[in-house]
Amino acid sequence: MSHWRDQVVFVSGGSAGLGLAIARAFARAGARLAIAARDPMRLEQAAGALSNIAADVLAVRADITDPSQVDRLMQQVFERYDRLDVLVNCAGRSARGMAHTTSPESYRELWELNFLAAVRCTQAALPRLLSARGHVVNIGSLSAKIASRYLGAYPASKFALAAWSQQLRLELGPEGLHVLLVCPGPLTRTDAGPRYKADPLELPPSASRPGGGVRIKTIDPDWLAQRIVAACEKRRPELIVPAKARLLFALAQLAPTLGDRILRAMT
């Protein structure tokens, strides 16, 4: 029998992209699902597709930057399943811009979605997760560990998520909560370039590419989702893809000038 058989997994941002891939991977492992997203059409399509492989799927339209909607969302999950084993904080978005010209309002907007929404969902789910000795999966980025050019407010929002993930591990790990921080490079997607056409014209054309133009291979979401499920089963603290990025992280901490030089050369 699968490790995840009949366990309940909630995925924010579960209607598309990596969130949908993660939901699909847990469904194939036998889990019951709850997904949330803002777009009702994409949410309905995702729920229909997941129903073909999952024993049970709950789809809830919600804006997780709104505290009242987070409370309502979690109430619906608990009323349906009366438990929660895995919370995947996947909803989020990237950005493009220069750090020094990005407006404080843009920083606040990304902070709300990429960081505070994860805090709200986790705090609302914690009683059930702790009773299940469950899992919190925070989807960060390579930008949660090291900043690069042309990503505007994005790295600042993901750095916060990485720090908070470590705090949760230190505080609640002894009580049985598993916290996994996932730091992937850019994902393979069909709309990678067009997504940023409206961003500042001060940027070079390469900035619209995945990762802000950093020369790195994109990652297949379904492959990464399988790695995330396995990392949860092993209760690993971090999953960094590609793994060799750890060397750059360490180098940037030990020798910041050299780290900056390498990052400029890679972009």
**Domain assignment of residue 228, yes or no:** yes
**Domain assignment of residue 144, yes or no:** yes
52-96 pLDDT per residue, tens: 999 899 999 999 999 999 999 999 999 999 999 999 999 999 999
**Domain assignment of residue 3, yes or no:** no
**Domain assignment of residue 2, yes or no:** no
**Domain assignment of residue 1, yes or no:** no
Average pLDDT, the chain: 92
Write the CATH number for 30: 3.40.50.720
3-state DSSP assignment of residue 41: helix
Domain count, the chain: 1
d(CA 197, CA 205): 9
- Entry pTM: 0.93
Catalytic residues: 154
CA dihedral of 251, 148, 135, 24, whole degrees rounded to 10: -120
129-185 pLDDT per residue, tens: 999 999 999 999 999 999 988 999 999 999 999 999 999 999 999 999 999 999 999
Q: How confident is the model at residue 124 (pLDDT cuts 50, 70, 90)?
A: very high
**Domain assignment of residue 13, yes or no:** yes
**Domain assignment of residue 115, yes or no:** yes
d(CA 153, CA 96): 8
212-259 pLDDT per residue, tens: 777 788 999 999 999 999 999 999 999 999 999 999 899 889 999 988
22-37 pLDDT per residue, tens: 999 999 999 999 999 9
CA distances for 197 relative to 62, 152, 186, 194, angstroms:
27, 14, 17, 5
The domain containing residue 171 runs over which residues? 8-266
**Domain assignment of residue 179, yes or no:** yes
